[in-house]
Structure 1
């Protein structure tokens, strides 16, 4: 088998492995199998500012789930995967979530910006950056600003659009009347996500 075909097969297998990684993340989180969950991350995963490793990640996830939610359900949407090289990739995954939080049923729309790494032949999360659009009680549509509305907390803005400068540019630059807009050259096929994000830094994410 020639080298080009082997590389194509490896790419297809890697795409499927990364998709399974995201699916396993949701299932293990919702079923509270924290060992299965943290083993989806690189062994030297960074947790917070100065902690490293799966044990620290397990402790953080345990505390978050045990004290904020009775139950959760994460439903995945589209998943865009882009390779940096054979062993590194980035991705964007949409997620629609439901949470039992005390006396309220909180629904959420968000996306993850992911960094993936293949280590010893297996794909892992190197980082997951959650960007939230809204969180609100099922019976309270999140119309208006400050769409993150958790029980017992003051509302605050999410970061759903913050990675992508196109959002602000769209609203700041309405098209001229009676004129066709210009269309930019398309981004490289393997540079779609990086082109959309540009050099936008990661936003500061508030813990739920």
Structure 2
């Protein structure tokens, strides 16, 4: 192994470690209401809404969201898959199980984030976080049935949990038979997410 190849592998390992820390830092900063620590996980030119750019706008948005909707929160980070597009850009999927005190109810939520990461001046940031929700419901009211997003004071709605994955529609549209099913080759190690996405574009999940 030549020195250039070794340096590239070390750089990749260091990048993986930095990226893996981002969701954990995101959760801790959010739950402890350290808004400067939280917005510092995004680049200076982060887009906020349709026509605003910058950490100051992001800080104002998260401040309003936390003050108006939640008293306390707890975010529990699960599995994290990361794939690199090039040395300075990557994407990933990370599971998150969350709890929220909102008025008289304790709302639990299961979701995943589709993330885009970017390295700027040697430091990795969230370039984009796309939230996809499975459910949100009061702890004592399991979200059985359709429209599993059930926040107090809102009409129930679907959360977009499955929109990233064509396999969901394919599975339910197909019917098993007695013949042995066809089995695809295992996905390449560096293209597991890409293979699961089947070339589909990321959906737009409306923030409510």
Bucket of the pairwise TM-score, normalised by the shorter protein: over 0.9
Give 1:4 deviation, angstroms. 1.1
Residue 185 of structure 1: how far off its partner (Å) = 2.5
What's the TM-score once normalised by structure 2's chain length? 0.96
1:144-201 C-alpha deviation (Å, 9 max, x unpaired)? 000000000010011111110000100101222x210001223322111122123433
**Equivalent residue for 1:203?**
203
1:186 and 2:200 equivalent? no
Question: What residue number does 1:47 align with?
Answer: 48
Which residue in 1 is equivalent to 2:99? 98
SS in 1 for 2:191: helix
TM-score, normalising length from structure 1?
0.96
* Number of the residue aligned with 1:4: 5
What is the DSSP-based 3-state SS (H/G/I as helix, E as strand, rest coil) of the residue aligned with 2:181? coil
2:155 corresponding residue in structure 1: 154
Note the residue ranges of structure 2 that are not aligned, 5 or more in a row.
Answer: none
Per-residue deviation, 1:44: 0.6
Query: Where in structure 2 are the equivalents of 1:6-155 lying within 5 Å?
Result: 6-155=7-156
In structure 2, C-alpha distance between the alignment counterparts of 1:136 and 1:86, rounded to whole Å: 40
Structure 1's unaligned 5+ residue stretches are none
SS of the counterpart of 1:61? helix
Measure, in 1, the Cα distance between the counterparts of 2:36 and 2:179: 57
- The 2-side partners of 1:207 and 1:100 are apart by 19
Partner deviation per Cα, 1:31-83 (whole Å, 9 max, x = no partner): 00001100100111111111111111111111111100001000000000000
Q: Deviations over 1:102-122 (max 9, x none)?
A: 000000000000000000000
CA RMSD of aligned residues (A): 1.1
Question: Which whole-Å CA distance do the structure 1 matches of 2:206 and 2:198 have between them?
Answer: 23
Q: Which runs of 4+ in 1 moved over 2 A?
A: 185-188, 198-208
Residues of 1 paired with 2:13 and 2:126: CA distance? Answer: 18
- Aligned counterparts of 1:135 and 1:162: Cα–Cα separation in 2: 17
- C-alpha separation between the residues in 1 aligned to 2:200 and 2:137? 27
CA distance in 2, matches of 1:137, 1:200: 33
What CA distance in whole angstroms lies between the structure 2 residues aligned with 1:200 and 1:106?
32
